[in-house]
Amino acid sequence: MGFLYARKVIYMNAALILLTLSVALLIGLALTRLAKLAGLPAVTAYLVTGIVLGPFCLGRLGFEGLGFTSLEQVEGFSVLCDLALGFIAFAIGNEFRLEQLKKIGRQATSIGIFQAVFTTVLVDIVLIAVHFAMPEVLSLPAAVILGAVAAATAPAATLMVVKQYKAKGKLTDILLPVVALDDAVGLVLFAISFGVAKTLGSGDINVLSIVLEPIIEVVLSLLLGALMGWIFTQAEKFFHSRSKRLAISVGFVMLTVAISSLKFNIGPVHVSFSSLLSCMMLGTVFCNICDFSEELMERTDSWTTPFYVLFFVLSGASLDFSVFGQWAVVAVGVIFILVRSAGKCAGARISAQATKCDKTIVKYLGITLLPQAGVAIGMATKALQLGETGIIVQSITLFAVLVYEIFGPYLTKIALTKAGDIRPEGRTSARDAAKASVSQ
């Protein structure tokens, strides 16, 4: 009887999980119709869906399966978010084709590094000044870490806007490589800042933690992605049908995400991987050495759309609205948002002008770098290891992410439209296209 009861409980839990995900997916898609009428990107609709179904709105009513009743329940779906980020990074890797990098590689690299470092330095300066003005509100270690968090962008939101509106042009060509490099640089800056913050908090200077660990993480992540990309390409040669090639593509992205989640210690050095960088390199190697990679990338993108929808719905549900109850967090959060936005826009403009980019890139690139989500939240979560400092960092980051994720995609759409990369006449519904082909 006990065994049968346990099986019944498992089936009930599975049913609730499927019900919760199906409701999230369908409502998210339904709200895109309203978003379209308002001229907003679909990403915004998915995030709003998450907020509505989240623990601070409908989820508070406690109806299992019809909303997320707690932040812990949302965190239980983290494997879906990890997988979606893996596919997003894999798709961004497709933007690093050698023939394209020969044209914009130097510019993208210079802009990606400069604007990230510039933003970090600017936010650090301002927040350190805030610390000295209000030491009881913001500690010095928290100010240092928030500077590095400011460097990170949200490749997922940017990629979804580009795909939804089929954006093409000079700004789009340089945007995705810059976003990819931006997060790589951000990871290094965060690791260094995190080590400095620990030193300020304890007085114990750990050179290995500050210098070696971020370098090791980036290098090992890129090596893992390159190795998996080569194996992936060799494995593809044994399959000829499109469906099987799609299946093995999905399998390798999942495998890379799984391996990159491993963490271990070698003596005093903590070794870990970035699934974002690993999957990005997986896509880069694959697209450069496989003859039919472009076709397969398109098929993979169409298959992963439901994962992307659920990723953004879950991102919206994970936003903690309790931070609004702390005036200090809101005040510092507003300063953080304004200074980070200024840093991104100014850093992108300065570096784009220095590398002689097209005037549309100089003018609009900074705006497209404002969205912020998963990578920044991951940094803030790691900062929790610092106790009270980490709690402040996480609260301010969550407040900023809430603002950026709601308004960032819309601003990205506006910038791409102003730059001429989004053309209204280029959008055709699948239903209309099907009718046209039948009539012919």
Residue 214 clears pLDDT 80, i.e. is over it:
no
Predicted structure pTM score: 0.72
Q: Which of 413, 275, 351 is nearest to 112 (CA)?
A: 351
Beta bridge partners of 266: 269
Of 117 and 38, more confident: 117
Q: What is the pLDDT of residue 426?
A: 46
SS (H, E, C) 323-344: HHHCHHHHHHHHHHHHHHHHHH
User: Which of these ranges, 41-55, 77-91, 320-334, has the smallest mean pLDDT?
Assistant: 320-334
Q: Which of 184, 307, 188, 185 is nearest to 253 (CA)?
A: 307
* Residue 367 half-sphere exposure toward CB, CA atoms < 13 A: 19
Q: What is the pLDDT of residue 17?
A: 85
Q: What is the pLDDT of residue 287?
A: 85
Of 299 and 208, more confident: 299
Q: Tell me: the pLDDT tens digits for 58-79? A: 888 888 778 888 878 888 888 8
Q: Please report where in the chains the tokens 């010095």 appear, as a residue.
A: 140
Residues in the chain: 440
How far is residue 298's CA from residue 410's CA, in Å, rounded to a whole number? 24
Degrees (nearest 5) of the Cα angle 399, 405, 408? Answer: 120
Radius of gyration, CA atoms only, the chain: 22
Q: What is the pLDDT of residue 256?
A: 93
Q: What is the pLDDT of residue 121?
A: 92
